[in-house]
């Protein structure tokens, strides 16, 4: 990723540059906020890490970052702070917070979250002409909901998560049966996912083998994990009943939280797929 660090502490800058540079990231350091804002207006960055000091409030600096952008595509914004919580950072307009003094483990983890979310954002923003079908909205419409959910997190602290669902062996399945049979399988898969969602969940078709389920405003802490477990159980039953060809569907599910980009869980359907991938 292209990363911009806005911080006056040389020790912090050295640690970030050393750790992330070694992992292949391109890190630019600019201690002066006004110069950093000009830089943001002249070239794109995937991630911006900013310490608002000497200001005690982070929001004015974060607003300065957003206003400096010339492109509609927003970078992942990481607040650097000695005391702020994740909730504080999100309500100030940042995706997450890194607590000082920096931990190498947390730096790696949260930079990974940033990379994951930016990959999702770029994928959703690509105009692939994937339209609504079988009770699912199209990719462009789902992207607007993704952007809206991120904005609501910044404005109101609302929590949203996405379950990404991928048919991993799409090409093998397609080659093993006739086009009519394969189209019927995809139609049944779409209906199965539409059936298992809550009324407030929104399902999108993102590509030939990619789907996503937006879980809006979960009511209790374990609800998202319960949801991905329910989805994987239902899809496991669906795959078990498929007998149209010699190849069985293999499905991967992962649960990602907005706006942090943290992946909280993943499931494989059937479970034997994960065991094979682990060499068991």
List pLDDT tens digits, range 249-259.
999 999 999 99
Q: What is the mean pLDDT of the segment spanning 131-158?
A: 90
What pLDDT, in 10s, does the model give residues 106-141? 999 999 999 999 999 999 998 877 777 777 999 999
Domain ranges of the chain: 2-124, 128-277
Task: Answer whether 2-124 and 128-277 agree in fold.
Answer: no
| pTM of the full structure | 0.91
Pick the CATH number of 2-124 from 3.10.580.10, 3.40.50.2300, 3.90.400.10, 3.20.20.370: 3.40.50.2300
Look over the chain and give the mean of its residue pLDDT values, rounded to a whole number. 92
Q: Is the pLDDT reported for residue 277 higher than 70?
A: no
Strand segments, DSSP code E, in 69-159 are: 76-81, 96-99
| The token pair that represents 173 in the structure block | 């399945």
Beta bridge partners of 213: 163, 203
Q: What is the mean pLDDT of the segment spanning 249-276?
A: 87
Q: Is the pLDDT reported for residue 280 higher than 50?
A: no
CATH homologous superfamily, domain 128-277: Reverse transcriptase/Diguanylate cyclase domain (3.30.70.270)
What pLDDT, in 10s, does the model give residues 39-74? 999 999 999 999 999 999 999 999 999 999 988 789
Report which of residues 2 and 182 the model is more confident about: 2
Cβ burial, residue 36 (10 Å; 0-12/13-18/19+): buried
**Contact yes or no for 139/121 (Cβ under 8 A):** no
If you count them, how many residues does the chain have? 280
């Amino acid at each position: 990723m292209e990363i911009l660090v806005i911080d006056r502490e040389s020790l912090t800058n050295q640690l970030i540059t050393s750790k992330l540079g070694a992992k292949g990231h391109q890190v630019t350091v600019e201690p002066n906020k006004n110069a950093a804002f000009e830089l943001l207006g002249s070239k794109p960055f995937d991630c911006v890490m900013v310490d608002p000091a000497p200001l005690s409030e982070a929001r004015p600096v974060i607003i300065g970052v957003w206003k400096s952008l010339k492109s509609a595509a927003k970078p992942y914004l990481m607040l650097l702070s000695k005391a702020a919580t994740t909730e504080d950072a999100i309500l100030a307009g940042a995706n997450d917070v890194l607590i000082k003094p920096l931990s190498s483990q947390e730096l790696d983890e949260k930079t990974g979250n940033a990379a994951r979310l930016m990959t999702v954002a770029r994928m959703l923003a690509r105009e692939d002409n994937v339209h609504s079908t079988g009770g699912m909205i199209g990719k462009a419409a789902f992207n607007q909901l993704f952007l809206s959910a991120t904005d609501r997190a910044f404005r109101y602290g609302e929590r949203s998560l996405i379950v990404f669902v991928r048919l991993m062996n799409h090409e093998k399945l397609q080659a093993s049966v006739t086009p009519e049979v394969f189209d019927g399988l995809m139609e049944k898969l779409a209906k199965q996912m539409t059936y298992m969602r809550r009324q407030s969940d929104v399902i999108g078709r993102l590509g030939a083998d990619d789907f996503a389920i937006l879980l809006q405003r979960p009511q209790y802490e374990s609800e998202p994990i319960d949801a991905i477990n329910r989805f994987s159980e239902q899809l496991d039953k669906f795959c078990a009943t498929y007998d149209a060809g010699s190849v069985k569907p293999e499905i991967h599910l992962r649960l990602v939280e907005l706006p942090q980009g943290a992946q909280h869980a993943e499931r494989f359907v059937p479970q034997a797929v994960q065991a094979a991938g682990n060499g068991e």
